[in-house]
Structure formats: structure tokens, C-alpha cells
Structure 1
Amino acid sequence: MRTAGTAVGLDVDHAEPIQVSENAIYRLPGSVVARVSRPGQLEAARREVNVARWLQQSGVPAVQVVPDVDQPVEVAGHATTFWRELPPHHHGTPTQVAALLKQLHFLPIPAELNLGKIAPFVRLEERIAAAEWLNDPDRHWLREHLADLRQRWESLPDGLSWCVVHGDAWIGNVAAMEDGEAVLLDLERTSVGPPEWDLVHTAIKHSSFRWITAEQYAEFCEVYGHDVATWEGFELLRDIRELRMTTMAAQVATSGTANEKQAHHRLACIRGELGPRPWAGWKALG
């Protein structure tokens, strides 16, 4: 972060860590936020910067890059990007997610950005391989389940017209400010794909986990104008999302921690060992 910031003339003195998870995020002087990716994510970071600039031009509320900075900056395989810091905010609501997705999905696909098609299985094999706490039977089951989902994806039923999708559209990737404004965050998975991919994330929060009420989900569908749960491809996208959430837990779990317990619980659920949905016990990762 310091090397990248210095290279583009930003003040990196007194930088403070905000969060270290999929990315390492730091607050810099001058209301700047630096985001350092995992190794090998240069193209994803470049796409994220380009998408942010395109959304700003298109009038869709989203996090903004620091202007007049040539980015991303690659240092030792890590891509660093620089963003304008948001004012105090909290997670968005399901209806705010729906409103932003409706704006995003309505935009014409920008050919000049070369976004590429949605990659629903990105990094899943790596997460399964890297989870040291998994025993051989569990690892084998996850790989077989992934292979089955890949095969089912090849026969994805027709649905809404493909468009620009956010790729990871949940309330944590929408920042709601105190004045009521809401903006999209984390644009690194933006691509071209079925809009249902963005909608299913909120749908399973009701149907799989009961994290939101039936009334909240109904309001989400009303604002967006479509209920993805009525589509014949819903179960496939639901299963992929649940596998992604399970392997995320597997990725961050270490022996004897709450994250390991959560990873075991999620795995038991998707294997059908804890009965039908909705499942209790799915919790945020620590």
C-alpha cells in the first residue's frame, strides 16, 4: 500500500487499517481509501476502476475512484486502487439494493469496457483445496458438488435478458448514508450475466436463512419489479450462492475457532444433513 500510494503521489503517512479480509483496506490522509487485492487480481482491479468511472458517468450511485490517479498500481503481484472515502454509513436495506440493481440492470452493456461474462465458480476450487481443516470425504463431496453445479450451469434456463450485473449484490455491498443516499460498493465482480444472479442473493436471505422477513422480501421484489424465486433457474443459482458462502467460511476457518464451527454447519446444511430450508444457525463470519 505504501509503495503504491507513494508511486502515484498520495500521502501514505499515518495510514490506518480498516479491514483485512478478501482485500486489505486502509484509510489514508485526505479522505482517501486504499484497497489492496489478493495476488493475481490486477485485471479484476482494473475492471473495477473502469466500472466505477462508467457508473459515475451513467448516473448510477456507486463508490468513486480518486480522480487523476493512474490506477490500479501493481506491487509484488498485488493490485492497489484508491477511492474517495464515504461519509458515515451503514449497510443498505433490501429495498435499497433492489433500487440500485434496477438502475444498473437497465443500463446498456458498455462494449468498450469488455466486462466479460459472469464467472459463478471463480476461486471455488482454490478455496476447497486451501481449507486445511477439511477431511478427505468432505473435500471430495465439495468437489463433486461443484462439478455438478458446473454441469447444471451449462443448461441454465432462459430468464430475463442478460445485462451488466454487480456480481455480489448484498446489503453489505450497498452503503447507506445518513441522508438516505445509497451507493454500490465492491465492483470487482461486475460483468455481463443473468440479472437473476444479483437478485438471488437477497432471495435466499429469506428462503434459505430467514435473515429477512417475508414482508422485506416482498418489498424487494416490488421495488425491482420481479421475483426471482418464481423462475425455474432459481434453485441452481441458490445452490451456487450457498456453496460460495460455504467455501468462504472454509477459506477463513482455522481449527478451533467460531469460523470453523460455522463452516462445518454450513457444509452440513448444503449436504442435506440438517433438514430442509430454511436453516437456522447461519451467522456472519468473524
Structure 2
Amino acid sequence: MLNLESRGHLLTEQNNPKSQNLDQLTTLELVDLFNQEDQKTLEAIAQARHALAQAIDLTSAALSQGGRLFYIGAGTSGRLGVLDAAECPPTFCTPPEWVQGILAGGEAALVKSSEALEDRAEDGAAALDAVKVTERDVVLGITAGGTTPYVHGAIAEARKRGATTLFLACVPAEQVPIEVDVDIRLLVGPEILAGSTRLKAGTVTKMALNILSTGVMVKLGKVYGNRMVDVSVTNQKLRDRALRILQDLTDLDRPQAADLLDRSGQRVKLALLMHWTGVDPETGQQLLDQHHGQLRQALQSPPL
């Protein structure tokens, strides 16, 4: 049972000796202090590299078998999860259900603080029940201080349902232990503004989610080289990006790339396969489906 009476012992709640005189610093000194302290986010990611890699492997395996990834949290932590989930469909052309963010308080809590809602573990469990989490899914609980009851309730429910469980916190495991498949601890130390975990803790959380979701999509064949070849062409900016990818990876000029993109149904990965192998769109899509969307494998496959 978590002790919620006092959280003063938690790393995220402790006083940072370097900012004791924060209100007396010049503006430039304040900016410099933030810059110095933010270096610790890079160190924290490096220390968590093995856990992040394990999380990527487990999550990509689950999604390749029809599972889903759920981020769940409250306050800043939950909002960061929702943000990362929302960016997956336009970047990687994923179905919206593949990566979902669940925030205590729902959509209203995105723009209006509702931190009081984080104290109900049963609400976290109910949120997973509402999306019908199964053993094929992955649930990542995000809580900077590690103690959020809403997140712990969700993790307990996920374990009960046989889902793969991940946990991301900015306190050492000995301060807030939890049983999960992968325990990711991002230890950035006390905040410049004591207890304000939207600062370093929020920054390092965003970094970790960037690595996790992008790593998963790389494993799932959404990337060729370092290009987002599954980009969703839904506006002029993204169409321009798609055309530049085609031009950069082929010998086509812009009008030729535009024609190829149109013939592929605005699918960059399929357009590349068509260009490099000479197959028609239907055959190309069959090849990609046969190889689970992996362009390199499709290119090396004998013609259908």
C-alpha cells in the first residue's frame, strides 16, 4: 500500500540546493541554471537505455500481433502521453486505436487542471475496463513522482487482465516499488522549482516517449532509413514532405514524384516499392502486406 500522507522523501519533491536563491537570480542566471539542470535529462535517458529498449521490443511485438499501446496518467504526465499518442497517426499513418492516451479527467483535463482526479485508483482501473484491455495490449503508466493512485489502479487492472505492463517514473524504484514487466526510472533529481515536475521530469518524460513510440514504429516498418515512409498525406505540408522523400530516395523530379505518389494512392512506401520494382499498386500492396509492411523485406522478395 502506498503511503500518500507524506511524499517529502520522494526525489521529485526534494529541495534543489542549486536554486535556493531562485527569486534573487538575474534573468540570465535563471536561464543558465535551467540549462545546466536540463543536462540531467540526457543522463537519465542514458541510464534507462536498457529498460527503454526492452519496452520498445515488447511493445512492437504486441502491436505486430494486433495489440494496442495505452499511455495512462494524470496531470502533466497524462497530457504528455496523450500528446505522443496523438502524433502517431499523422507521423506513421497508424490507426488511432494503435496508440492511445488516457488522461485522468478525460479531454477536459487537457486544458484545465484536474489533478484532484488522480487520487482514485478505481478510476484508473475503470479507464482500462472501458477500452477493454486484453492480454495482447501494452499499458504504460506514467507518473513523475511514482505514487499516483490513478496510475497504480490502472497498472493493477492491466496485470489482472494479462496485459504487458510498463511503468515510467522519476523516482528510484526503492522509493516507490511496483511489479511490472519493464520499470523505467528517469532520475533527473529535484526540480529547480521544488516539486514542479512539469519541468525536468516533464522534459525527460517527453524524451522517453519520443524514443519509445518512434522505436516501436521503426521496428514495425514505418521507417525506411531515417524517412517516415508511412507519413499520412493529409495536408499540403505532409504532401510536400512525401514528395521530398520520394525525390531524395529516387532519381525523380518533383512532377514525376507527384505522379508516382498519386498513382500509389498517396502512400509513400508503396510508391517507392512501385518505382524500384516496377510492380503495379495492387501487387505492391500485396507484397507489403505479405511482409507486414516491411519495405526492405518486400524489396528482397521474389515477384508475386
TM-score normalized by the length of structure 1: 0.25
Larger relative strand fraction: 1
